[in-house]
Structure 1
């Protein structure tokens, strides 16, 4: 069993977009979690409507282990699906091809560069870092999860070679900002109902 809270460690890349809809692509490699190491890629809609007002919402996410699928859906209403991640290159620079049920989901290229500076989510306003997810455990309602992050952040590139099955049109637009988190600690607490 792996109920919340979860404390996770790993590295990540994030690209924030203004269009076709405000949102962000996140690519994460967890080296430690309550269900072991796993990889994930997701689209987070920014300012999505919810009972608590506009909040970030994970609308598409794929992960590399069935345990992460099961507990992400049960604990926080995160709509995880199972996928296969093929990594090429080094942890700092390379590409990843992701397939879901044998079909391409996304092909991303990533690179971090420059100095990595300390970062914390504490100064970020709470609504901006509180996920609002419809419950997926058979109950009505929503879960609100205020995510915590500490670690180091640096400039990066997260290029979308192809992500039509993740989020249509991302390969034709440039992100507003892209960062890498070469080492980070993520905290997913017990959610609260909305």
Structure 2
């Protein structure tokens, strides 16, 4: 099945019929191609952040998931969903939002790791869409500069909580007792040959 040029002619149910190697996001009627695969550094950072979250969440009801489709509107019927994203990492505390193939509703926290092809989308388009959907906390990770910008939802708008770098520690706002030390996230430079 070929991907249509306009969002108004594709639903999430139709998207699921596409070749499994094809990944797209649809945001506010615009289709975004998700290829090529992320760089090794991108994937290593995602693994380190996921590990930090996973260790903390092992005995708790929230779940950390990576690269899963998220239908922010919360619609359960795939044939009615006309918008979805595929963040690098999500934390979901409402188990009713977790379905077999996707998340239906706004996650509690989303992490996006920038690449040259996604920086504008992550910083502007997704920022606004996540804010509108009610995602409580949004992290934008810049692998090139080894920084993380943290945004906290307050009164329906994101407040910039800070830009973190080096050995700084981020206090995860959605939890009272979780901190993430960036020295665990941005470890030694990964050899580009691997």
Higher helix share: 2
TM-score by length of 2: 0.26
The structure with the larger Rg is 2
TM-score by length of 1: 0.26
